[in-house]
Amino acid sequence: MTEHTVILRNVSKVYHQNTLAVQALTDINLDIPKKELACLSGPSGSGKSTLLNLIGGLDKPTSGEITVDGQRVDLLGKAELAALRLHKIGFVFQAYNLIPVLTARENIEFVMQLQGISAAERRARAMDILKEVDLTGLEDRRPGELSGGQQQRVAVARAIVSEPSLVLADEPTANLDSKTAQALMELLVHMNQEHNVTFLFSTHDRLVMDFSRRLIKLHDGRIVDDQRRT
Amino acid sequence: MTIVLRIAWRNLWRHARRTWLTASAIAFSAMLLVFMITLQLGSYDMMIDTTLRVYTGQMQVQRLGYKDKRQMRTTVPDAARLAERLRVATGLDAVAVRAQGFALASSVERSYGVPVIGVQPEFERGVSTLPHLVKTGRYLSDSRAQELVLGSALARNLKLALGDELTLLGSGKDGSVAATVLPVVGFFESGNPELDRRLVLMPLAVFQEVFAMGDDAHTIVITGPSYESIPLTNAKVSALIADQPELTVLDWDELVPGVKQLIQTDMVQNWITYIALIVIVTLSIMNTFLMNVLERTREFGIMLALGASPARLAALVMLESVFLTLLGLVIGIAVGGGIAVYYHFAGFSFPGMEEIYAQFGLPGVIHPKLSFASFTLGPAVIFVFTVLAALNPALRIRKLQPVEAIHAV
């Protein structure tokens, strides 16, 4: 039987703007198996980011059930959600998602420190992952001293270093040139294979879709297509 | 250093100019408070010391009830011998016996009702500055000398000159008539109108004879080397008189409660000013912290997404405020403390101060009091207020929604 990292059942999300109710997601049912490399695509306002936020426990669904790695996310409180994100979910955002006052290595160590990992182990693991993302020698640079591509590599390293079950990446290539974006996607595919982590992207970028093994299309808050690619 | 500490410290320097401005405000208020409080405490010590040294002494042994009702018969028996034992027990020379009566003092031209004090001239110099404040003539020569010294204002009122005789008529301890005529050998000017206008001093032995006191007296005045030594001296004295339950030892604040009340009133007034200053500084600091948090909303959102708990982020903001406050306080204490140390040795004065203080018999300069409390009390209050100021932004973080925070500009 296939094990699933993410299971969504009848998930809906309604935002209230003043007196207006905006239906962001409607009746989403989705299973994402372990080690999947899936991509949410669709036009702006289709609900990609909303769905990613709900799966990541950054927001709560209006109705429906969300299960991540066997845990019902929609039932968790603030502190439990923080713990879930800390231990089971890694995030990569569009840009500017590193802590500016920390070096590349410290940014990677940050999550491990929250997890209570010892300083020596944190450092060793951070250096290993920096080597894996080809940033050896740049570990003491702060985000402002790194290129956009290098910053995204650090973000990927930070997302993966604590060995989560799931990495959520919201438009990871949005601010990168095509060459850098290609390199980043190759890195993410490599991480997916080497670390057995499930990846779920939201994107407009054709390149990201090309690298994904599963393409889930959203439109007006509904899944309109779900294709497995070879 | 943990990463959270590093984030807190480095965040201070993201806007170095802002940090320095805020730290300067804290430093300035801390410096001002350190100096003002050391000066204030120094002036209190000076006020207490000066007041006590003129006449009252730091503590007195009396018979129970004498302080509230000064009756001739409420005496300390064999007072001179007890005083000698106290000198030995405390190691202090400044232990002097006094007896007090009331008499009608008459010169050729005028009469006034005055308190008459019997003193031990040889020991009085240790507990009172009056012997040094005789501006005309001289002080009493010894315990048996048949002579008087009185306040200069009283002498003027009685129209007495040096060498004139003063007649004293009162009642003795046993109710008998106490009468004597003695020459005046000196006039003192203490700066205290109450003393200068009323007091008549005579040798103790003469007093005891005139007022039928036998070996009794009313008070034993004790003065230690410093204000700080009072509790220890008090303990020694109390231990020595423990076998005489009819006697009690009274500290200066019981003998002259007005001084303590004056100090307390002054303290309250000063602290109202200090708190106003601290509140103004705190509001500016609160503004800085709020800006700091609002600017970094997206960053906090990212941290929340990574799994940092809102409580940990609130703690981070509190930590930043602690670092900033400590930075300002260290500078403020160093500068304020430096100024206080300088004036502690050089003495602090301002134009006209000497004249004003001289009217009250006080020295013309204040020596700021250097103590742990005087250096830390003001900064500690600033610390509490600034940490409270950081609570508001810290609590805002606890309410942050990760999704909204991440998308904040």
Domains and CATH numbers, chain B: 3-52+259-406 (no CATH), 90-213 (2.40.40)
pLDDT at B353: 73
How far is the C-alpha of B201 from the C-alpha of B134, rounded, in Å? 12
Q: Is B159 exposed, middle or buried (0-12, 13-18, 19+ CB in 10 A)?
A: exposed
Residue A132 reports pLDDT greater than 60 = yes
Rounded to two decimals, the ipTM of the complex is 0.87
> CB atoms < 10 A from the CB of B263, how many?
18
Cross-chain Cβ contact B406/A93 below 8 Å: yes
pTM over 0.80: no
Give the residue from chain B lying closest to A87, CA to CA.
Answer: B307
pLDDT per position as a tens digit, B147-193: 999 999 999 999 999 999 999 999 999 889 999 999 999 999 887 78
Q: Is residue A141 part of a domain?
A: yes
- Interface contact B304, partner A, CB < 8 A: yes
Res. A184 pLDDT band, cuts 50 70 90 = confident
pLDDT band at A190 (very low <50, low <70, confident <90, very high): confident
Which residues in chain A touch residue B308, judged by CB atoms under 8 angstroms apart? Answer: 82, 86, 114
Specify if A103 maps to a domain. Answer: yes
Backbone angles phi, psi at A142, to 5 degrees: -85, 165
Counted residue by residue, chain A has a size of: 230
Model pLDDT for residues A6-32, shown as the tens digit of each residue? 999 999 999 988 888 889 999 999 999
Per DSSP, the residues of chain A read: ---EEEEEEEEEEEEEETTEEEEEEEEEEEEEETT-EEEEE-STTSSHHHHHHHHTTSS--SEEEEEETTEEGGG--HHHHHHHHHHHEEEE-SS--S-TTS-HHHHHHHHHHHTT--HHHHHHHHHHHHHHTT-TT-TT--GGGS-HHHHHHHHHHHHHHT--SEEEEESTTTTS-HHHHHHHHHHHHHHHHHH--EEEEEES-HHHHHH-SEEEEEETTEEEEEEE--
pLDDT at A1: 57
A77 touching B, CB under 8 A?
A: no
**Per-window interface: A 94-153 vs B, CB < 8 A:** 96-102, 106, 109-111, 113-115
Two tokens, residue A176: 């990168």
Q: What is the largest CA-CA distance in chain B?
A: 100
Contact B398, B295 (CB under 8 A): no
Q: Are residues A50 and A24 in contact, defined by beta-carbon separation less than 8 angstroms?
A: yes
CB contact under 8 A, A114 and B310: no
Q: Give me the pLDDT at residue B237, please.
A: 93
Is B2 an 8 Å CB contact of chain A?
yes
* pLDDT recorded at residue B383: 94
A227 touches chain B (CB under 8 A): no
Query: Into how many domains does chain A fold?
Result: 1
Phi, psi of A172 (to 5 degrees): -65, -20
Full domain range(s) for residue A122: 35-61+75-228
pLDDT score recorded for residue B360: 55
Yes or no, beta carbons of B307 and A58 under 8 Å apart: no
Contact with chain A for residue B315, Cβ under 8 A: no
CA distance B308 to chain A (A): 6
Query: pLDDT means per 10 residues in chain B (409 residues)?
Result: 84 89 93 94 84 86 93 93 94 94 93 95 91 92 92 94 95 92 94 87 95 95 86 92 93 88 91 92 86 88 89 89 93 96 90 69 79 92 91 85 78
- Would you call B398 an interface residue with chain A, using a CB distance cutoff of 8 Å? no
Q: Coil, helix or strand for B249?
A: strand
Specify the range with the lowest mean pLDDT, choosing from A93-102, A148-157, B105-114: A93-102
Any domain includes A20: no
Q: Which of A200, A40, A171 is nearest to A97 (CA)?
A: A171
3-class DSSP assignment, residue B5:
helix
Residue A7 maps to a domain: no
Distances (CA, A) of A34 to A1, A29, A126, A167: 12, 17, 25, 11
Q: Which residue of B has its CA nearest to A57?
A: B305
The per-residue pLDDT for B119 is 96
Of B3, B303, B305, the CB nearest to A106: B3
Q: Which helix (H) or strand (E) holds B32?
A: helix B16-51
Interchain contact, B402 vs A87, CB within 8 Å: no
- Torsion of the alpha carbons at B328, B332, B335 and B340, rounded to the nearest 10: -170
pLDDT for the residue A2: 66
CATH number at residue A109: 3.40.50.300
| Chain A residues touching residue B3 (CB < 8 angstroms) | 102, 106, 109-110, 113
- The contacts of residue B136 (CB under 8 Å, 6+ apart) are B152, B162, B186, B187
Q: Which residues in chain B are closer than 8 Å to A97, comparing Cβ atoms?
A: 302
